[in-house]
Structure 1
Amino acid sequence: MTPLINLAAGQRSQEVTELAARIGWVVGLLLFIALLYWLMREGWKWRGLLQSDLPEPHAAPDALSEAKLSMTGRYHGSTTAGQWLDRIVAHGLGTRSRAELTLTDEGLAVVRPGARDFFVPADALRGARLDKGIAGKVLTEGGLLVITWQHGEKLIDSGFRSDRSAEHPAWVEALNHLNTTTEGAR
């Protein structure tokens, strides 16, 4: 039995890597991650600069008529209409947030706690549909309410998801009906 004891006593674990080399790799990795974060942030700022020709979104009027519909949920961002990956970041339109939507005869009021609110006049609304995705957010089919509106010379799609997704079809119907009634007035 002594040969087995000697054999077990002779095995040793691998020497631990030098501490300085390990610290160097960790610091290098952290610097690489910081560089990637900085590049993403610069890209976001550059996109905002390229979209600076987009006018400032409208502010909600002081007095709005009675709400036709209202909902709470999430605002997932805005894109160029028909191009679901071309995110618009100018004037805070790319910032995700909670949202309260209110549809009135004057238009659509979007109140976003922690982000810039905006208002879409009724004559700028172009329609609504149910979709499955917008830049940075993909859901099940019909899980996203996408509202198309005219802002300056640009058509914009804005994506919302209600806390109660069963509300989405009523919003699509109301916005499309409002669009057809305001088309005659244009």
Structure 2
Amino acid sequence: MTPALMNLAAEAAAAVEPKSAEVTDWAARIGWVLGLLLFVVLVYWLMRQGWKWRGELQSDLPELPTAPETTEPARLSLTGRYHGSTSAGQWLDRIVARGLGTRSRVELGLGDAGITVVRPGAPDFLIPAAALRGARLDKGIAGKVLTEGGLLVITWEHGERQIDSGFRSDRAADHAAWVGAVNATTTKHTTIPTEGAAR
């Protein structure tokens, strides 16, 4: 065998021979993983502190009214999701006090006393009929954006504050009926001053 053929055979054998894998720097990898975990924990902690701080700022909000013991048949009902509450007209100013910041499933019932809000895993409450200020269709509340008209927003007054609460029915066709019924209830409970009272 000629020297040229021997060199060629040696090169071919070297090419077929498996190369050893690069040594992994485990200390660097563990350091990166720990750093990432610490960053995630810090972000979560900051979010939680922000939530608590917002709740403390809103601590002047009175306790929410509870539904009356007597169960009257609801004139209108809705099953869907509660997306949160904000200061009226400010769709990003979320209210978290008294459990109003907790998103959940919801069952609404409109009766003579007002709107009962039943939420599994979160406090139930009543929006009294006299506190209702109107209803409309909208697309966003408390950072949640849906399709145009995909959200039922009910405006009501509690304490010194006007509140927008956002609901989405499992059947979007229910929203229009709720807007009409809530606005009719609002008109019924709004007192229009007479000429003599205005003087």
TM-score normalised by structure 1 residue count: 0.93
**Partner letter of residue 68 of structure 1?**
R
Tell me which of 91, 114, 118 is aligned to 2:98: 91
| Superposition pairs of residues 145-160 of structure 1, within 5 angstroms | 145-160=152-167
Does 2:118 align with 1:111? yes
Partner of 1:20: 27
Structure 1 portions without partners, runs of 5+: none
Aligned position for 2:5: none
Q: Does the CA-based 8 Å contact 2:91-2:143 persist in structure 1?
A: no
- What is the total number of aligned residue pairs between the two structures? 186
Residue in 2 aligned with 1:173?
180
**Contact residue 152 and residue 168 of structure 2 kept, 8 A:** yes
| CA pair 134-11 structure 1, distance change in 2 beyond 3 A | same
Partner of 1:132: 139
Separation (CA, whole Å) in 1 of partners of 2:20 and 2:180:
71
Matched letter for residue 78 of structure 2: M
C-alpha separation in 1, matches of 2:182 and 2:21: 69
Larger radius of gyration: 2
What SS does the corresponding residue of 1:56 show, helix, strand or coil?
coil
- 1:63 aligned onto 2:70: yes
In the TM superposition, residue 14 of structure 1 has moved relative to its aligned partner by 6.3
Question: Alignment partner of 2:84: what SS?
Answer: strand
CA contact (8 A) 1:133 1:144 kept: yes
Name the SS of the counterpart of 2:173 in structure 1.
helix
Question: Hey, what's the Cα distance between the residues in 2 that align with 1:84 and 1:167?
Answer: 22
| Deviation of the 1:88 alpha carbon | 0.2
Distance in 2 separating the partners of 1:137 and 1:91: 20
Which of 77, 83, 96 is residue 76 of structure 1 equivalent to? 83
User: With structure 2 as the length reference, what TM-score do the two structures score?
Assistant: 0.87
**What RMSD over aligned residues (CA atoms) do the two structures have, in Å?**
1.8
State how far apart, in whole Å, the 1-side matches of 2:118 and 2:131 are.
Answer: 18
